[in-house]
Chains A and B, each alone.
Chain A
Amino acid sequence: MSATADFAAALPRVLGSRTVQRGVLGMVLLVAVWEGVARGFALPAYTLPAVSAILVNIVDSWAVLAPAASYTLTESLLGYGVGSLIGIALAGLITLVPRARAAILPVATAINSVPVVAWSPLILLWFGIGIASKVVMVALAVSFTVFLSALAGFDRVDRRAADLMRSFGAGRLSVLWRLRLPTALPLIAAGMRVSTVRAIIVAIVTEMLGAYDGIGWVIYQAVLQVDFVRVWSAIFVASAISLAFFGLVSFCERRLIFWT
Chain B
Amino acid sequence: MSGALVASPASRPETMSLALLAPLWRFARGLFWLAVVLAVAEGLIVLFGVRPYYVPRPSVVIGAILATPTPYVQGFLRTLSETLLGFASGAVFGIGIGVLFFRARALRELVFPIFIVSQTIPVIAFGALVVLWFGNTLVAKAAISFYLTFFPVTVNTLLGLEGVDPRQEALMRSFGASRFKLLTHLQLPSALPQIFVALRLASALALVGALVGEWFGDTVGLGVLLLQGMYNENVVAIWAAIAVCALLGTGLYAAVSMIEKWLVFWGAEQ
The answer to whether B197 touches A118 (Cβ under 8 A) is no
A119 and B246 alpha carbons, distance in the complex (Å): 11
Residues from 231 to 260 in A contacting B, C-beta threshold 8 Å: 231, 234-235, 238-239, 242-243, 246
A108-125 to B contact mask, C-beta < 8 Å, 1/0:
001001111111011011
The answer to whether A117 touches B122 (Cβ under 8 A) is no
Contacts of B233 in A (CB 8 A): 125
The answer to whether B125 touches A204 (Cβ under 8 A) is yes
Residues from 70 to 108 in A contacting B, C-beta threshold 8 Å: 106
- Tell yes or no: B65 within 8 A of A by CB: no
In the complex, which residue of chain A has the Cβ closest to the Cβ of B199? A3
- Tell yes or no: B1 within 8 A of A by CB: no
Instruction: Name the one of A7, A113, A124 contacting B152, with C-beta atoms under 8 angstroms.
Output: A7
Tell me the minimal C-beta distance from A92 to chain B in angstroms.
Answer: 21
The answer to whether B125 touches A124 (Cβ under 8 A) is no
The answer to whether A14 touches B122 (Cβ under 8 A) is no
A246 and B120 alpha carbons, distance in the complex (Å): 10
Total B residues in contact with A, Cβ cutoff 8 Å = 59
The answer to whether B124 touches A208 (Cβ under 8 A) is yes
The answer to whether A235 touches B121 (Cβ under 8 A) is yes
A217-240 to B contact mask, C-beta < 8 Å, 1/0:
001000100001001001100110
- Tell yes or no: B132 within 8 A of A by CB: yes
A1-20 to B contact mask, C-beta < 8 Å, 1/0:
11110110011001100110
The answer to whether B121 touches A238 (Cβ under 8 A) is yes
Contacts A3-B200, A114-B249: A122 and B235 contacting too (C-beta < 8 A)?
Answer: yes
- Tell yes or no: B27 within 8 A of A by CB: no
- Tell yes or no: A200 within 8 A of B by CB: yes
Of the candidate stretches B88-96, B176-184, B206-214, the one touching chain A is B206-214
- Tell yes or no: A161 within 8 A of B by CB: no
The answer to whether A201 touches B37 (Cβ under 8 A) is no
A2 and B111 alpha carbons, distance in the complex (Å): 25
- A-side interface size class: 35 or more
B208-222 to A contact mask, C-beta < 8 Å, 1/0:
100110010000001
- Tell yes or no: A170 within 8 A of B by CB: no
A2 and B85 alpha carbons, distance in the complex (Å): 26
Instruction: Name the one of B123, B159, B197 contacting A201, with C-beta atoms under 8 angstroms.
Output: B123
Tell me the minimal C-beta distance from B60 to chain A in angstroms.
Answer: 15
The answer to whether A234 touches B125 (Cβ under 8 A) is yes
The answer to whether B159 touches A10 (Cβ under 8 A) is yes
Residues from 170 to 228 in A contacting B, C-beta threshold 8 Å: 197, 200-201, 204-205, 208-209, 215-216, 219, 223, 228
The answer to whether A219 touches B239 (Cβ under 8 A) is no
Contacts A26-B109, A209-B230: A113 and B246 contacting too (C-beta < 8 A)?
Answer: yes
Tell me the minimal C-beta distance from B221 to chain A in angstroms.
Answer: 12
In the complex, which residue of chain B has the Cβ closest to the Cβ of A240? B120
Contacts of B128 in A (CB 8 A): 219, 223, 231
Instruction: Name the one of B108, B125, B194, B211 contacting A6, with C-beta atoms under 8 angstroms.
Output: B194
Contacts of A208 in B (CB 8 A): 124, 215
- Tell yes or no: B269 within 8 A of A by CB: yes
A143 and B19 alpha carbons, distance in the complex (Å): 36
Contacts of B200 in A (CB 8 A): 3
Instruction: Name the one of B110, B119, B227, B245 contacting A22, with C-beta atoms under 8 angstroms.
Output: B110
Tell me the minimal C-beta distance from B194 to chain A in angstroms.
Answer: 7
- Tell yes or no: A46 within 8 A of B by CB: yes
Contacts of A113 in B (CB 8 A): 246, 249-250, 253
- Tell yes or no: B242 within 8 A of A by CB: yes
Contacts of A106 in B (CB 8 A): 33, 37
What are 19 sample pairs from A and B whose C-beta atoms fall under 8 A apart?
Answer: A23-B109, A26-B110, A110-B246, A113-B253, A114-B245, A115-B207, A117-B211, A118-B241, A118-B246, A121-B230, A122-B242, A197-B119, A205-B122, A216-B124, A228-B132, A231-B128, A234-B125, A235-B125, A238-B120
6 closest A-B pairs by CB: A121-B230, A22-B109, A23-B113, A242-B120, A26-B110, A204-B122
